[in-house]
């Protein structure tokens, strides 16, 4: 195995590690910055409603006419809309009918965020491709790229 192959393999593994690290970030409890309450068991967390608040009237966020990113998840999810208090618009919530895995929850996070953007702005903000200096791939750079690639599907939503 030559050195280039080894570096390439290390880089690929680092990219995966970056993705995995970000997925776990919301579960990390830094000493001094932790939470006082208990954390949900995974099966409870997986079944929770995940919600975004959209600054549109409930009639505009009609569950029958779901934005494409949520519609693409089909009958695997259930969706509810509720008027938000204080003229904040509409709470748009969704959850899987079954018990989803982490990847499926990531799909739902991204779909909810994109649905909100489509309803509020009319399009989803893109960031790639951006002007960027070219560099040889490194494990550290790949880890960050992996984390950035996973970021739209990660987080606490």
Partner 1 sequence: MRAATWAGVDEVSVETVPDPAILNDRDVILKVSRTTTCGSDLHLLGGYVPAMRAGDVLGHEFMGEVVEVGPGVRDRRVGDRVVVNSFIACGNCWYCRQELYSLCDNGNPNPGITEGLWGQSPGGCFGYSHAMGGFAGSHAEYVRVPYADVGSFVVPEEVGDDRALFASDAVSTGWMGADLAGTKPGDTVAVWGAGGVGQMAARAAMLLGAEQVVVIDRLTERLEQVRRHVGAEVVDYSTTDVMAELRERTGGRGPDVCIEAVGMEAHSTGVQGVYDQVKQQLRLQTDRPSAVREAIMACRKGGSVFVLGVFAGPVDKFPLGAAMNKGLTLRGAQVHGQRYMPRILGHMARGELTTEHLATHVMPLEDAPRGYRMFKDKEDGCVRAVFLPHG
Could you give the CA distance from residue 45 to residue 68 in angstroms, rounded to a whole number?
25
Return the number of the residue (31 or 74) whose C-beta is nearest partner 1: 31
Number of residues counted as binding partner 1 (CB under 8 A): 45
Q: Does 1 contact partner 1 by CB under 8 A?
A: no
> E strands, 14-117, where?
50-54, 77-83, 90-96
Q: What is the CA radius of gyration of the chain?
A: 19
Return the number of the residue (25 or 46) whose C-beta is nearest partner 1: 25
Nearest to 103 by CA among 45, 59, 154: 154
For partner 1, which residue of 44, 55, 63, 68 counts as binding (CB under 8 A)? Answer: 55
Q: Does 85 contact partner 1 by CB under 8 A?
A: no
Could you give the CA distance from residue 51 to residue 157 in angstroms, rounded to a whole number?
7
Binding positions for partner 1, rule: CB under 8 A: 22, 25-26, 28, 30, 32-33, 52-53, 55, 88-89, 109, 113, 116-117, 120-123, 125-135, 138, 141, 144-145, 147-148, 150-157
């Amino acid at each position: 195995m030559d050195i280039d192959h080894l570096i390439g393999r290390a880089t690929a593994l680092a990219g995966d590690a970056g993705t995995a690290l970000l997925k776990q970030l919301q579960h990390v409890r830094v000493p001094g910055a932790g939470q006082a309450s208990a954390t949900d068991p995974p099966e409870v967390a997986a079944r929770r409603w995940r919600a975004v608040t959209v600054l549109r009237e409930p009639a505009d966020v009609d569950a029958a006419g779901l934005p494409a990113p949520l519609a693409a998840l089909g009958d695997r999810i259930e969706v509810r809309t509720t008027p938000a208090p204080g003229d904040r618009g509409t709470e748009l919530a969704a959850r899987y009918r079954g018990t989803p895995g982490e990847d499926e929850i990531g799909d739902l996070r991204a779909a909810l965020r994109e649905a909100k953007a489509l309803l509020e702005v009319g399009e989803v903000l893109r960031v790639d491709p951006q002007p960027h200096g070219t560099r040889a791939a490194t494990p550290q750079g790949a880890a960050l790229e992996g984390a950035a690639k996973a970021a739209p599907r990660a987080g606490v939503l």
